[in-house]
A and B are shown apart, each in its own frame.
Chain A
Amino acid sequence: SYVLTQPPSVSVSPGQPASITCGEDNLRIITVHWYQVRPGQAPVLVLYDDRDRPSGIPERFSGSNSGHTATLTISRVEAGDEADYYCQVWDSRGDRPVFGGGTKLTVL
């Protein structure tokens, strides 16, 4: 089954780009989705199907998927982007969603 590896933390200054990776050593990542999780708030879907943005998500959020590594990129980070970010794929062999370990984005 999938084991999705994310860096525990990423730090970036406001206005700079931030990239968060989601890797799988053995299995190919077919499609990945990304969530923003802030304490005490409802998680927010920021990207689905690798690169599509739900309504209301700024264009600053973009995504890519090379097969074994997916990447969430925030082009110009703002203080409000500080949160934990999780990738998610679907394990079709187990008929279930699988989440990465999460990455804490800190805006310096």
Chain B
Amino acid sequence: QLQLQESGPGLVQPSETLSLTCTVSGGSLNSKNYFWGWIRLPPGKGLEWIGSVYYTGNTYYNPSLKSRITISVDTSKSQFSLKLTSVIAADAAVYFCARLVPTGDYATGGYFDHWGQGTRVTVSS
């Protein structure tokens, strides 16, 4: 059964860079049929898509975060990663990684069918 597990520091200082990794097991990251994404849930707010990556390394970012994020994939390690620079208090959230099932062409639809349990990130000095 496919499993995703987020890892990374739970505490990040303001203005620093947040780095998270998602390890995929029980399935292949190196699949033409899926994309892989990061989503976050800030306290008291709703889910927010951060960005997605294809096994080829092609990336898709939320315009509101695009200037600060980098998502990469390492198929040899079955991992994909998120880097968020210049972290501020509003970036505090539970960060989830998930598998994205595209419906047709990526640009026309998709949903997240498997999720990790999430990792809580606090922003504080």
Interface residues of A (CB under 8 A from B): 30-31, 33, 35, 37, 40-45, 48-49, 54, 86, 88, 90, 92, 94-102
Measured CA separation A105–B16 after assembly (Å): 37
Q: Which residues of B contact A (CB under 8 A)?
A: 4, 37, 39, 41, 46-49, 60, 62-63, 96, 98, 100-101, 103, 106-113, 115-118
Q: Can you list 11 A-B pairs, Cβ within 8 angstroms, ordered by A?
A: A37-B41, A37-B47, A54-B113, A86-B47, A88-B47, A92-B108, A99-B47, A100-B46, A101-B46, A102-B46, A102-B47
A16 CB, min distance to chain B CBs, angstroms: 25
**Total residue contacts A-B, CB cutoff 8 A:** 70
User: Is there contact, CB below 8 Å, between A95 and B111?
Assistant: no
State A50–B108 Cα separation when bound (angstroms): 15
Name the B residues within 8 Å of A54 (CB-CB): 113
Q: Which residues of A contact B101 (CB under 8 A)?
A: 48
- List chain A residues, Cβ under 8 A from B41: 37
Q: Which residues of A contact B63 (CB under 8 A)?
A: 94, 96
Supposing A100-B46, A102-B46 touch, asked if A45 and B113 sit within 8 A by C-beta, the answer is yes
Cβ distance A36 to chain B, nearest Cβ, rounded Å: 11
* Chain A residue nearest to B113 in the complex (CB): A45
A10 CB, nearest partner CB in chain B, Å? 15
Q: Which of A43, A90, A94 contacts B108 (CB 8 A)?
A: A90
How far, in whole Å, are A42 and B116 apart by their CA atoms in the complex? Answer: 5
B95 CB to nearest chain A CB (Å):
12
Which residue of chain B lies nearest to A49 when distances are taken between CB atoms in the complex? B103
A86 to B96, CA, bound (A): 15
